[in-house]
Chain A
Amino acid sequence: MASLDRVKVLVLGDSGVGKSSLVHLLCQNQVLGNPSWTVGCSVDVRVHDYKEGTPEEKTYYIELWDVGGSVGSASSVKSTRAVFYNSVNGIILVHDLTNKKSSQNLYRWSLEALNRDLAPTGVLVTNGDYDREQFADNQIPLLVIGTKLDQIHETKRHEVLTRIAFLAEDFNAEEINLDCTNPRYLAAGSSNAVKLSRFFDKVVEKRYFLRESNQIAGFPDRKRFGGGTFKSLHYD
């Protein structure tokens, strides 16, 4: 049963944004009754029908790795977390719609996870600053989810949603905004459910069906010239 068969998706974000509630909702279709602090990493499994409704439909297990902590943790905690970032097939970035800082921290989160994957020699690729080109070349599918939508007042909704749209564009990712305590946001057939399904389909596709262009899932294509001059220096 090996790790060759796994489809691994990381769920990253600041503490308190609702990652555990989200993962519980995605995997067990229920609302999490008593959310508590996540220490280390908690995993859950979602059964996903790839290409649902078509003749090529196949069932996959998608592992959702909910990594706890904050971007400002001590470097010893960061080094320990790094062990979870190996061979990742997709990343879900979670932020709190009521807390601007959690959205800004998503850049640092994605860098932390992507750097671990892109630098097998252990050398840090950037000094931690946001580099748009890195995301343009990134092969790992990203999804941005905003939580606590119910706590945003009607009048502020437009402003918040515009800001989030920019954020999702930066990551070249889809975005979903919901409330983890209300399953109707992910009801079958809603646009959110469709986006989610599409994301997981993309993850499975990249993992199993596009093996020819990547040796190990997650490395960028070497034939690219644009952007990422950093990264090409590290491969040989």
Chain B
Amino acid sequence: ISTLISESIFFLLQVLFFGFGWLFFMRQLFKDYEVRQYVVQVIFSVTFAFSCTMFELIIFEILGVLNSSSRYFHWKMNLCVILLILVFMVPFYIGYFIVSNIRLLHKQRLLFSCLLWLTFMYFFWKLGDPFPILSPKHGILSIEQLISRVGVIGVTLMALLSGFGAVNCPYTYMSYFLRNVTDADILALERRLLQTMDMIISKKKRMAMARRTMFQKGEVHNKPSRFWGMIKSVATSAPGSENLTLIQQEVDALEELSRQLFLETADLYATKERIEYSKTFKGKYFNFLGYFFSIYCVWKIFMATINIVFDRVGKTDPVTRGIEITVNYLGIQFDVKFWSQHISFILVGIIIVTSIRGLLITLTKFFYAISSSKSSNVIVLLLAQIMGMYFVSSVLLIRMSMPLEYRTIITEVLGELQFNFYHRWFDVIFLVSALSSILFLYLAHKQAPEKHMAP
């Protein structure tokens, strides 16, 4: 009976995660769009639900909920479903929706989306070659083969995001980097923008009037590539059409300028808001946090370099090491087994929650920035793919933070993966990403004030 209860709790939690994913999709991601294809929403919620279930199983492992064989069974099943979704379903649907957007290929949608999926599978398979991830004795379609490749992609993503996040976080929080923006600057830029718009308008008025007179005289003006029209215009020497192209070029240049000015003005407004925010209490708090995070960031970069240079992979997890230190150096005696279980649970729980939250926030920001009503389906599916891969690789890496007795289940289920490789790969990509973010932010910061000093 108790197994029945625990199984039903498990199932209930899964339904809960599905519901959360559904709500998140509807309320946050798609709040400005209309959901026409429910398939997309279902896929997103299912990916989210099964990814969260993996984390839930880790927690259950630490807490000892359910018996070990049923946990193992759930792990295997969950893993199979996730891999099925990430490798078969989501890429196929991404291809399908991309093809649906292109009008030409609309008739043979299914055929082309299958072709796209096969191309994806080819590259996905080739991904495994340059990395020393597996021993060759496994079969073609085994879990290990798929997981190893998914793991590589996911770990790369995690490291890129971590690297950028570690550098960007102090940069955004600290007010030291804020440029000084006055109201006068903004007004001056707005005036320039409106002047540019006026110039565009006067040129367009000339063009519109010229077109109208030409139309009334019965000349061909709207298809300059028409052969007979060109001959006629050369023969009758109409200055109208030549002028039009000249003016059009000037207008194009002015429109480009107006776009630049618009973006710069928006940038100045954003900076001004940030300056005002930094004067509030919350702003000061974040400023302080920023200093703290910058120290943390420097330390992480340092550790990553050490790991790579000295080819060292941590053998013990932070919990056991912390307990060892307290027992050996501080002489505090306590029940190691009991405390290690609870502390691991808390630590792992915090890591899981913050990484889920961080990922969802980043995905939302990304989605708002790049989606439009045409591409929203494709982008959401891409985000679901990234989310799934990210979570799978989190499981791979979280193994390092857990004491030995809890690591066994992950090692058992995921098979003989070279876990050390993944950690090394993470450090390398993290270092590369952090250093290039520093370079990028430095250049962007340098360039900005000079733009506004120009008269």
- Closest Cβ neighbor of A44 among chain B residues: B204
Residues on B with beta carbons closer than 8 Å to the beta carbon of A79: 266, 269
- Known A40-B259, A43-B204, A80-B262: A28·B211 in contact at CB below 8 Å: yes
B265 within 8 A of A: yes
Known: A28-B211, A83-B190. A99 touches B373 (CB 8 A): yes
Cβ-based interface call for A15 (8 A): yes
CB distance B270 to A40 under 8 Å? no
- Please indicate the chain A residues that have their CB under 8 angstroms from the CB of B372 in the complex: 15-16, 37
Complex CA gap A75/B8 in Å reads 47
B368 at the interface (CB under 8 A from A): yes
Pick from A27, A30, A80, A105: contact of B266, CB under 8 Å: A80
Q: For B33, what are the chain A residues with a Cβ–Cβ distance below 8 Å?
A: 99, 101
Shortest Cβ distance from A229 into chain B, in angstroms? 32
A74 to B267: give the CA distance in the assembly, Å: 11
Q: Do B211 and A61 touch (CB < 8 A)?
A: no
Given the interface pairs A40-B259, A43-B204, the reply to whether A105 lies near B209 with Cβ below 8 Å is no
With A39-B262, A42-B255, A47-B212 in contact, do A70 and B32 touch (Cβ < 8 Å)? yes
Tell me if B243 counts as interface (CB < 8 A to partner A): no
* Min CB gap B90→A, angstroms: 24
Residues of A within 8 A of B266 (CB): 74, 76-77, 79-80
Bound Cα distance from A80 to B262, whole angstroms = 7
- Chain A interface residue count, CB cutoff 8 Å, equals 41
Which of B12-20, B195-203, B325-333 makes up part of the contact surface?
A: B195-203
A43–B193 CA distance with the chains assembled, in angstroms: 13
Chain B residues near A98 (CB-CB < 8 A): 34
A63 and B200 alpha carbons, distance in the complex (Å): 11
A223 to B428, CA, bound (A): 73
Closest CB in chain A relative to B451 CB, distance in Å: 16
Interface of B, helix, strand, loop or mixed by DSSP? helix
Residues of A within 8 A of B262 (CB): 39-41, 80
Any chain B CB within 8 A of the CB of A122? no
Q: Does A1 contact B (CB under 8 A)?
A: yes
CA distance A198 to B34 in the complex (A): 33
Complex alpha-carbon distance, A98 and B205, angstroms: 34
Nearest residue (CB) in A for B212 is: A47
- The reply to whether B269 and A72 contact each other, CB–CB distance below 8 Å, is no
In the complex, chain B residues whose CB is within 8 Å of the CB of A84? 197
Q: How far is the CB of A148 from chain B (nearest CB, A)?
A: 10
Measured in the bound complex, the distance between the Cα atoms of B368 and A43 in whole Å is: 25
Given known contacts A61-B205, A101-B33, A43 and B197 CB-to-CB distance under 8 angstroms: yes
Give CA–CA (A84, B200) in the complex, Å: 14
A40: nearest residue on chain B (CB-CB)?
B262
Given contacts A43-B200, A80-B265, contact A99 B34 (CB under 8 A): yes
Q: B240-261: contact bitstring with A at CB < 8 Å (1 yes, 0 no)?
A: 0000000000000001001101
- B201 CB contacts on chain A under 8 angstroms: 6, 43, 45, 63
Q: How far is the CA of A84 from the CA of B196 in the complex (A)?
A: 12
Does B374 sit at the interface, judged by CB under 8 A?
yes
Q: If the complex has contacts A75-B273, A99-B33, A101-B32, are A16 and B374 also in contact, measured as CB distance less than 8 A? A: yes
- B residues in contact with A74, CB < 8 Å: 266, 270
Complex interface: chain A residues within 8 A of B205 (CB)? 45, 61
A76 to chain B: which residues have CB within 8 Å? 266-267, 269-270, 272-273
Residues of B within 8 A of A63 (CB): 201
A46 to B211, CA, bound (A): 11
The CA of A27 and the CA of B269, in the complex, are separated in Å by 33
* Closest-CB distance, B290 to chain A (whole angstroms): 21
Question: In the complex, are the beta carbons of A39 and B222 less than 8 A apart?
Answer: no
User: Smallest Cβ distance from A81 to chain B, in angstroms?
Assistant: 9
Among A15, A42, A83, contact of B373 (Cβ-Cβ < 8 Å): A15
Does A184 reach chain B (CB closer than 8 Å)? Answer: no
CB nearest neighbor in A for B204: A45
Q: Please name all residues of chain B whose beta carbon is closer than 8 Å to the beta carbon of A45 when the two chains form the complex.
A: 201, 204-205, 207-208
Q: How far is the CB of B233 from chain A (nearest CB, A)?
A: 18
- The reply to whether B190 and A61 form a contact with Cβ atoms under 8 Å apart is no
CA distance A40 to B263 in the complex (A): 7
- The smallest beta-carbon distance between B404 and chain A, in angstroms, is 48
- Kindly report which residue of chain B lies nearest to residue A38, judged by CB atoms: B259
Contact with B along A35-65 (1 / 0, CB 8 A): 0010111111111000000000000010100
B351 lies within 8 A of chain A by Cβ: no
Say whether B194 faces chain A, with CB atoms less than 8 Å apart: yes
B residues 186-240 touching A (CB-CB < 8 Å): 190, 193-194, 197-198, 200-202, 204-205, 207-209, 211-212, 222
Contact residues in B for A3 (Cβ distance below 8 Å) = 198
Q: Indicate whether B446 reaches chain A with its CB closer than 8 angstroms.
A: no
CA distance A115 to B368 in the complex (A): 25
Q: Is B31 in contact with chain A by the CB < 8 A criterion?
A: yes
Contact partner of B263 among A39, A83, A105, CB < 8 A? A39
Residue of A nearest to B191 (CB): A83
Say yes or no: is A96 at the interface (Cβ < 8 Å to chain B). Answer: yes
**Centre residue among B32, B198, B222, B258 by max chain A CB count within 10 A:** B32
Residues on the B chain within 8 Å of A16, using CB: 372-374
Instruction: Check if A100 is an interface residue, CB within 8 A of chain B.
Output: yes
Give the chain B neighbours of A179 by CB distance below 8 A.
Answer: none
Q: How far is the CA of A37 from the CA of B265 in the complex (A)?
A: 19
Which chain B residues border A29 with CB–CB below 8 Å? 222
B194: chain A residues within 8 A (beta carbon): 83
Residues of B1-51 contacting chain A, CB below 8 A: 31-34
Task: Report which B residues bind A (CB closer than 8 A).
Answer: 31-34, 190, 193-194, 197-198, 200-202, 204-205, 207-209, 211-212, 222, 255, 258-259, 261-263, 265-267, 269-270, 272-273, 368, 372-374
Name 23 interchain pairs, CB-CB below 8 A, sorted by A. A1-B202, A14-B32, A15-B372, A16-B374, A17-B373, A27-B208, A29-B222, A37-B372, A39-B262, A40-B263, A41-B258, A41-B262, A43-B204, A45-B201, A45-B207, A47-B209, A72-B32, A76-B269, A76-B272, A77-B266, A99-B34, A100-B34, A101-B34
Given contacts A43-B201, A44-B204, A96-B373, 13 further A-B contacts (CB under 8 A): A1-B202, A15-B373, A16-B373, A28-B222, A39-B262, A41-B197, A41-B258, A43-B197, A43-B204, A45-B201, A46-B208, A99-B373, A102-B373
